[in-house]
Structure 1
Amino acid sequence: MEFRQLNYFIAVAEEANLTAASRRLHISQPPITRQIRQLEEELGAQLFHRSSKGVQLTAAGKAFLSEAQRLVQIAKSASEKCRAADRGEIGQLMVGHYGATIHAAVPHAIRRFQKARPDVSVQIRRATKREQYEQLRDGRMGVGFARHYLNDPDLETICVSTERLYAAARIGCLPDTSPGSFKLATLEDVPVIVFPQGGRPSFADHILDMLARANVCPANVDTAEDVFAAIAMTMISDSVCIIPESVAELKWPELECVPLDDPSAVSPVNCIFLKRGRAPVVDAFLEIIVR
């Protein structure tokens, strides 16, 4: 049984006339008649009563019509879903995140994508960079987010946004500076906290490199496990911690956050994905977030 035969049968049944069905299908009558005969032979039942006035469904034809219509509709729906999946309009997307990217960059990117592709199911998973590398390769994850990644021959990284950096310290403990701004030079001989401890290259490396380029030498540098540990350490010490804007905007109690007055005081947010062989839904995601 072929879908072509089902389409011919449905057209003749609904038009109750071979000539009308022929016009509807844009083909001549003989192929329609031949295919319906073959269908009847395969089913072992007569589907139409034929007369000079036209055709009428037999009892078997009436029973078969509803099922034929349902089968054709299922096939049509399956074809549409297949094409939609190939365009990245439906499916599932697993998004990995590491570090403070979850506070603003990741939700913002996902909201934009869901607005454009509402039929794609998006899940978010916290994953170290090593876990992201592994899960991107084996297909469990579509894209990952972090601030810094190692170069990898199988993976590609793009910068999707940047964040301004802020100096954070316990209220009353920030070194003297101009109101509303903080110069990197002010950190000379000041204790500094950086984060995280793992995931090199990392945000901690970025901050230390920025200080080195500015020829600023802190009194000492402590490394916290993650942003939350860094904030806690800052609240119980006289140290200054450099944090991204999205973290500063969380309005931590007992913490004063001032933007760094330096053009280099920004941090990237990067997205990582497979260079080749990635799912269409990943391409759809990338097309939207890099606009």
Structure 2
Amino acid sequence: MPWFPAWLRDYGTDFLRAIADRADYYEQLIPVLLDALDRSRRSAFVDIAAGGGGGWEKILQRMIPLRPDMNVTLTDIFPNREAFAKLASRFPAHVTFCAYPVDALNVPSHLRGVRTQFMSFHHFRPRAAQRLLADAVEQRSPILVVEAQERNAFNLLKFLVLSPLCVWLLTPGIRPFRWKRIFFTYFIPLIPAYLLWDGLVSVCRTYTLNEMLDLAYGADLDRSYIWEVGKAKGGLMPVSYLLGYPVERPVSPSSGG
């Protein structure tokens, strides 16, 4: 929401980045990410709705030795520039970012690569979510959508119990250190309340695998893409994903003389 305070939004995405890095949600996704690059014959990722860039630090540490040519561009409609710059400073040869707003429903054509979206697809209501996928199809960009929660009562209960506790425990270690972050976490708990609400709403809005697949087919009426859904298991918690990439168009043989 444009009216939401930018400093509070950034503190929220800072926390989500911190917990994603510590929980290492995406360890089991490395084969899927490598497969997405191989199938699309690309070496670049374009991360849309990137928030604070959560998860990429561990992903890059694992993938760079396997694909030293890889790089990622971080984008968001409300970019957390400080968080993006921090990650780019750690991986200067592999990370760039857009300091300007990038609309996930209308990604600039010069941003070429496998589009990724980690734990943000649920922010888009069905019509917008389908438009997001359609934009990738129109630009022939492979896309990987990842969610680390499911829509069920267990996850609602888990967020209700664990979200405030995790915020209180992790906040002192979040960098850069901000006294304002401390104040609004422990003295006036605005940040824990905001993140609890965000987590509960996110669970309620998370799409099932079948729903994601239906949205993909609705965005690709010409069936010009191959779409796959699945769950990657093996880490702290299973993550669900939707992967789409263009069907290779056959090359017409040249006519002989």
TM-score by length of 2: 0.31
Larger radius of gyration: 1
Q: Which has the higher strand share?
A: 1
